[in-house]
Amino acid sequence: MDQLVSIIIPVYNQSQKLLRAVLDSIEKQIYDNLEVVVVDDGSEPAFNFQTSDFRFPIEVLRQENMGAPVARNKGFELSKGEYVIFWDADIVGNPEMIEKMYSALEKNKEASYSYCNFQFSIFNFQNKKMSSRLFDESELKKNNFIHTTSLIRKDVFPRFDENLRRFQDWDLWLTMLEQGKKGVWIDEYLFSIVKSGRISSWLPRIAYQKPLRWLPGVAGKVRKYEEGREVVLRKHDL
């Protein structure tokens, strides 16, 4: 029998409609040995939905607003599966997503997690595809190319650093790398990040170059990106 996969969803002020779409995409997964842990990180109003609408068990925990890393770690503490995946509350997965991630780890016993490509799905706008790459230690030390929503063997997960405000995912993969843990890439677009408007935090690579990096509306994002990046680089002596 396939092993239990725990899907951990941190939620903060997400629309009920989108959260339902997220859960519906989990309902359609081919892989069927699943449980879901939803951690409501102090949303106002609190989320309310019928857990009986779904074929998989759902546990819902509400906590005061403490941030996504705390919510993810709390969800991990409540999880029962041999595998965990931190599924953001704006992600709609393809039906074969978990099946392919699980199969990749079954075929690659030396890998600690599996990851894939994804795309931004933006209302009234062309989708933006975000491709990852083959796992490469040296490249991972320079830039993150692995999304938070990856399937991880539970026994090797070191928890998220709750003190970081940005780049918690990159920090996680670097921490695991320092422990000798590696990932396996699935070169397929297996999920979409659904946005109702523009992508608020993503900037094209050219935006970080002169003179675009100094433009109003861009400069502040570039500064926060670089400050967060330096925190992670210093933590890992890179």
How do residues 209-228 score in pLDDT, each as one tens digit? 444 444 445 455 657 777 88
Which residues fall within 8 angstroms of residue 74, CB to CB, at 6 or more apart? 39, 61, 63
Per-residue confidence (pLDDT) for residue 224, from 0 to 100: 76
- pLDDT for 122 beyond 80: no
The ranges assigned to domains in the chain are 5-201, 203-238
- The one-letter amino acid code at 159 reads R
pLDDT, one tens digit per residue, over 169-201 is 999 999 999 999 999 999 999 999 987 544 345
pTM reported for the whole predicted model: 0.89
- CATH number for the segment(s) 5-201: 3.90.550.10
- Would you say residue 203 has pLDDT above 70? no
Q: Is the pLDDT of residue 95 over 70?
A: yes
